[in-house]
Structure 1
Amino acid sequence: MDVEERRSAAVVGGGVGGLAAAVALHRAGWDVAVHERAPALEPIGAGLILWPNAVRALEVLGLGDGLKAQAVALSGSGVRRPDGRWLSRTDGDRVVSRYGGPQLAIVRAGLTELLASALPPGCLRLGTTVTDVDEGGPDRRASIRCDDRLVPADLVVAADGVNSRVRRALWPMQPPAEYCGYVAWRAVVRAPATGSGAASETWGRAERFGVVPVGPDQIYVYATANAPARTPRADELSELRTRFGRWHDPIPALLDAIEPGDLLRHDILAVRPSLRGLHRGRVALLGDAAHAMEPNLGQGAGLAIEDAVVLAHAMAGSAPVAAGLARYDRARTGRVARLARQSRLLGRLTQSPSATVAAVRDATVRLAPDRFALRGFDAAATWRPPVPTTQEQS
């Protein structure tokens, strides 16, 4: 049998991107296995905002109804100052009018479970560490080494995160992910609903605090601050209270609601410069492994899900793997590079320690009409999935 007819895919990494890739390829007719080093899909992580582009991608995967049953449709969003004054507010109806659907907010674990539920039995290979990869070639299958086992595959999808081992192995000249100079804290807290159903982000000097409803009594909170890269410590919550405890309501109460064991702290890393190609041989990079960017557009998970949908569309049917991967490259490299630059610029503005920069930034946002506030997200949120093939629709 010709090597192209076997159509098996090995996905490295069981996060949002890896699971989405597995679902998409399975729906396109591939035999898929997900290799995840964790012994279980633990409910780790905090919350996510999914813009309409991400929602459309999940709908292509047949998960639209399940997503909307779990997620919160945001009634609006806005930017505030630490004293509580609003700089900008956007009504949720305006998002729907401009982009064809609302922003949805969801607990990350809920999205992970939704994706995993769409996989066939036996697809998840938990507790499996991938230690090596062979990219294969036009007439030779790729393979991954899982501990002491060699697993051949027609396609390998590397979705193993910002510090991707596969990227380091096959793109040795690419610099490691770069620290961006600031950190993020994230948590989901049990708290009374704010009543508005809207999200907000408060901008200080080199500090931000976000509040996002993700359930009837759940709030996703996140914060950023310029700080040296370091390992998380036991007193992270104390640092958050020192930095943000005097900011406007409901921030102090939300800080009080955080359980120390639920607080996550991450150094913000990005892949720079952007990769000029997202595949090598029969190996495709996806999500943060391919294009980790600063989290300033709310598009990290969304772009990974987009990648999955586009990859599966490119690989559908009986076309050679090399041709499909070339199509995937053409569809994704320019888009993710542009959004990475946009997110980096927004990070420079919001994380600037300069009082002058902060004052000009705030005045610009405050004076701009609210109807213009969304325009900066057009490049991300207007994306639509490729038209499915007959095989994908079946």
Structure 2
Amino acid sequence: MSPQRPGHAVVIGSGIGGLTAALALHQRGLRVTVLERAASLEPVGAGIGLAPNALRALDVVGLGDTVRRLAAWQGPGGVRTPGGRWLARTDSSAAVRRFGDPLVLVHRATLVEALAARLPDRTIRTGTPAELVDRGAVDGRPAVVRTPDGDLEADLVVGADGIRSGVRGALFPEHPGITYAGFTAWRVVVPAPAEPFAPHETWGRGQIWGTQPLKDGRIYAYAAAAAPAGERSPDGEKAELLRRYAPWHHPVPQILDAATDATLLRGDVHHMNIPLPAHHRGRTVLIGDAAHAMCPALGQGGNQAVEDGIVLAHHVGPAGDLGAALAAYTADRLPRTTGIVRKSARVARLTMLSGTTAVGLRDGMTTLARFAPGLALRTFDGIADWRPPQRTYAAPTPVHQARRQEEGHP
């Protein structure tokens, strides 16, 4: 096989970014192998909000409308204080009017299952830890990935192995890596409380809470608070959350009642405040948190991983110059993701303010946004309005085809 014509891609990691890349590369004609350390595809995490940019990316692999049908947020929502006062109100149609698509919250397992189901049988090898031992050279040798069952040679390796990426460390050993962002986060999925509520994010002093509905009737809730790195509650995370959030407005106490230590996930938040010099070296490329870990303040971590997978496959096909393709991928993704990492950090610092004066100013400015419709959504200008470099190379679904015709496209 010519070194310029990639035929076999090995994807290390079966998270949302890795599976999106695997599916997109498969649809571009590459043979794909996905290596996953865990024994199964049960994803670590709870909910993920898919913004319009990710929905359009998923259109490329034929999954956009499948996800759109899972939209559960209908009607009003917004930002509140711990006592329940609304700082800003919006509704679910605002994003559609501004960006052409809704915000869709799904369980990560739902998205993982949808992506995996479209890959050929035996593409994904679970229980298979992998180590990059040779990044390869685009004008010569293949990349090599070591597994317990032996070494794999690959024309392309995709490092989708998360925030503590071993592939990133192998490619860029001189890079300092991730940095603690100064706060920790909790996530949980519970049954919906009996009394209705409007979806919301609530900002306190040095801590936030969010409550969002899922299509299946459950609730995805998340919280974040300033805390020392590595700190854990000696009497359990539910007890910690009760101390912090039990006095907050409905439905926070009811959600905490339904949560258990077994269902609560806690993790310190890290990000890459120093960008990588590139998102590839040799025949190996990075996507998702491995390339650009970011704070969750804009909800773009998973969305950018989906974008990565689609853009990578756009540039890399079974024919053409692999070196030029990977350089084009870096040129597309590095500036965009670096900007979003930095913007996410700025928004996180705003939501984590704890001083009385600073919180008062923040809440006052948020309240003023009520009188400027669309002001809050402007935060996502240049992010949620992104479109893939090509519209689709998967067969469009009827819903997607109708929407394209409404937009004036053939």
- Scaled to the shorter chain, the TM-score interval is over 0.9
Q: Give yes or no for the alignment of 1:104 onto 2:107.
A: no
Deviations 1:340-381 (A, max 9, x none): 111111111111222211111110010122431210111210
- Name the SS of the counterpart of 2:187 in structure 1: strand
Give the Cα–Cα distance (whole angstroms) in 1 for the partners of residues 46 and 202 of structure 2: 19
> Where does residue 183 of structure 1 map in the other structure?
184
> 1:231: how far off?
6.2
Match of 2:47 in 1: 47
How far, CA to CA, are the matches of 2:249 and 2:300 in structure 1? 27
- Would the aligned equivalents of 2:73 and 2:199 in 1 still touch at CA under 8 Å? no
What percent of counterpart residues are identical? Answer: 46
Other-structure match for 1:277: 278
Show structure 1 runs of 5+ residues with no match.
Answer: none
Once the two structures are TM-superposed, the CA of residue 75 in structure 1 deviates from its matched residue by: 3.5
Paired position in structure 1 for 2:210 = 210
Contact map agreement 1:74 1:199 (CA 8 A) in 2: no
Please list every run of 5 or more consecutive structure 2 residues that lacks an aligned counterpart in the other structure. Answer: 397-410
**What is the CA distance between 1:199 and its match in structure 2?**
2.6
Please report how far the alpha carbon of residue 297 of structure 1 lies from its aligned counterpart in structure 2 after TM superposition: 0.3
State the partner residue of 2:323: 322
Length-normalised TM-score, structure 1 = 0.95
CA drift of 1:74 comes to 4.6
Distance 1:174 1:154 in 2: 25
C-alpha offsets along residues 108-154 of structure 1, whole Å, 9 cap, x if unaligned? 11111111111111100111011333111122111111135110111
Deviation string 1:1-45 (CA, Å, 9 cap, x unpaired) is 323335110000011111111011001111001000001112541
1:73 is displaced (CA, Å) by: 4.5
d(CA) in 1 for partners of 2:145, 2:75: 45
1:141-191: CA deviations, max 9, x gaps?
A: 111111351101110000000000011111011113111110000000112
Aligned positions of 1:1-394 closer than 5 A? 1-137=1-137, 138-147=139-148, 149-192=150-193, 195=196, 198-230=198-230, 232=232, 235-368=236-369, 369-388=372-391
Aligned residue-pair number = 392
Cα distance in 2, alignment partners of residues 8 and 202 from structure 1? 47
SS of residue in 1 equivalent to 2:375: helix
Paired residue type of 2:340: L
Separation in 1, partners of 2:133, 2:290: 14
* TM-score (norm: length of structure 2): 0.92
RMSD between superposed Cα atoms in Å: 1.8
Deviation sequence 1:183-219 (CA, Å, 0-9, x none)? 00000011247646x5310000100000010124200
Aligned counterparts of 2:322 and 2:75: Cα–Cα separation in 1: 43
Q: 1:131 to 1:188 in 2, by over 3 A?
A: same
Secondary structure at the aligned position of 2:40 is classed as coil
Letter in 2 for 1:217: G
Question: Secondary structure, in 3 states, of the residue corresponding to 1:215?
Answer: coil
Q: Is the 8 A contact 1:313 1:388 kept in 2?
A: no
Q: Which moved more, 1:311-320 or 1:181-190?
A: 311-320
Quick one: distance in 2 between partners of 1:2 and 1:47? 42
User: Aligned in 2, Cα 1:303/1:358: closer, same or farther, shift over 3 Å?
Assistant: same
Note the alpha carbon deviations across 1:287-337, whole angstroms, 9 max, x for none. 000000000001111000000000000112511111110110111111101
Structure-2 separation of matches of 1:267 and 1:120:
36
Are 1:184 and 1:223, in contact at CA under 8 Å, matched by a contact in 2?
Answer: yes
Separation of aligned partners in 1, 2:307 and 2:326: 15
